[in-house]
Amino acid sequence: MLETFKITAKKTVTGLQVEADARGFKFILDEPEELGGTNTGMNPVEALLCAFAACQSIVCASFAESQDFSYDEFWIEVEGDLDPDGFMGLSEVRNGFQEIRYSTHFVTDEPQDKIDAFSNFMDQHCPVSDNLQNGVKVVRTAAIKESK
């Protein structure tokens, strides 16, 4: 059954800082000082990479037992290439990531072929990975003028 997830992101009075809220859980996003921010939080593209890594981690923890895969520790390292000239309007390059790379790390006694198979399973079942790899239709439903 289709579920709808909702968040709110509101610009604060401080620089480029934004407060994001999902189900009452809040965090601050910002930009580094060299990009005009106050460096009080990760920037949105870093948060996107974190969301991808967290989703992979949750899939790992949620499905390891049912996939007969055991591990003691898991972590993921993610990096992405983005040319800020696109965002700044200085070039015709794409605004978003041109490539995202990641490595999964398992402390486990499992053989490498089983690690590879479980990693493939994780890729196939991670919703954030699916959105990044296959895109998603983004629809602005309104631009609302609020009263002061």
Summarised one tens digit per residue, pLDDT across range 68-112 is 999 999 999 999 999 988 878 888 888 899 999 999 999 999 999
Q: What share of the chain in percent tops pLDDT 90?
A: 89
Average pLDDT for 5-10: 98
Q: Give the amino acid at 49.
A: L
Least confident piece of the model among 16-30, 70-84, 88-102, 117-131: 88-102
Summarised one tens digit per residue, pLDDT across range 48-72 is 999 999 999 999 999 999 999 999 9
b/e for 111-148, b at 16 or more Cβ within 10 A?
eeebbeebbebbeebbebbeebeeeeeeeeeeeeeeee
Rg (CA), the chain: 19
Per-domain residue ranges of the chain: 1-41, 43-147
Domain at 43-147, CATH from 3.40.718.10, 3.30.420.10, 2.40.110.20, 3.30.300.20 = 3.30.300.20
Least confident piece of the model among 18-27, 30-39, 88-97: 88-97
| Helix, strand, coil fractions of the chain, as percent rounded to 5 | 35, 20, 45
